[in-house]
Amino acid sequence: MPRYCYRCTVCEELSIISHMSDETETCCPKCGDSEGLVKILTTFTTSHRTSPEAKVGDVTEQFIEDAKQDLKHQKGET
């Protein structure tokens, strides 16, 4: 699921929220304001550095594991 960066115009906090591309987040997860979120344009980046010996499947498996950890972290916050 894609991650999007939002800034709340009320509390000025940045939030990274995962949702489908056809959805839009409206409620700030920090302050709860229902109309203050503005989507921030970001560029695609990856934090994975691979060696020439690494296989595509290895990078994919690591990305999936990272995503699982992110979900566990998010579930712990709610």
Tell whether pTM > 0.85.
Answer: no
Q: What are the extents of the domains in the chain?
A: 1-45, 48-78
55-70 burial string, b = 16+ CB within 10 Å, else e? eeeeeeeeeeeeeeee
Query: In this predicted structure, what is the pLDDT of residue 48?
Result: 55
Q: Is 6 exposed, middle or buried (0-12, 13-18, 19+ CB in 10 A)?
A: buried
pLDDT in tens, 30-63: 888 888 888 887 766 666 555 666 666 787 888 8
